[in-house]
Amino acid sequence: MYETSQYLTFTLGEEVFALDIGTVREVLELTAITRIPRTPEFMRGVINLRGRAVPVLELRRKFGMEPAADTVSTCIIIVEAELEGEGAVIGALVDSVREVIEIPAEAIEPAPRMGTAVRQDFIRGMGHRNDGFVIILDGNRIFSVEELAATGAAVGAGALPGEDAVPVAATAGGDGAPL
């Protein structure tokens, strides 16, 4: 018996990518992002998510793609990744969010060793979808501990001054509705 998994699909340029829905906490419209000095170019900065400072990575730059201007479709996907055995809440800036899809395990194959701007170890597999493919990413590998350490050191424990940290609820669009 094959297992079917759900994935949130999003775009970077013309490419369609996906993250396992189990790692996605919510999707936000683009909001104010505070830049942090001396962080890698792909670290856009941090956002205030209900009193908690959450680092935001610009996936286009992380994957070595040309930067693009933000649009009304630009979104931040809030992801919970596991870094060295601990949970970390991270924002991923993407061109647009598309939909949640189901892909059966038998429709996922290993990524080819060529032709993508994304590092091979970031790709969990290629999902067959209609007449094309969806690049399924491994959220635990995209966000490295070393890269986030620079942001974490600048942000501190995560709560903004004068505010209590609040756990991230599993919602879509930041409106409180469950995924």
pLDDT of 71 reads 96
d(CA 138, CA 128): 17
Tens digit of each residue's pLDDT (9 = 90 or more) over 156-173: 434 333 333 333 333 334
Closest CA to 30 of 90, 89, 94: 94
The burial class, CB within 10 Å (0-12 / 13-18 / 19+), for 175 is exposed
Higher pLDDT, 27 or 167: 27
**Residues ≥6 apart with Cβ < 8 Å to 102:** 4, 5, 6, 7
pLDDT of 152 reads 53
**Residues ≥6 apart with Cβ < 8 Å to 58:** 42, 43, 44, 67, 93
pLDDT of 121 reads 75
Tens digit of each residue's pLDDT (9 = 90 or more) over 94-127: 999 999 999 999 999 988 776 555 677 788 899 9
Whole-number average pLDDT of the chain: 80
**Residues ≥6 apart with Cβ < 8 Å to 17:** 9, 10, 11, 59, 94, 134, 135, 136, 137
pLDDT of 112 reads 75
Nearest 5 degrees, angle CA 105-CA 140-CA 93? 100
What are the distances in angstroms from CA 138 to CA 122, 147, 165? 5, 16, 27
Nearest 5 degrees, angle CA 54-CA 168-CA 98? 85
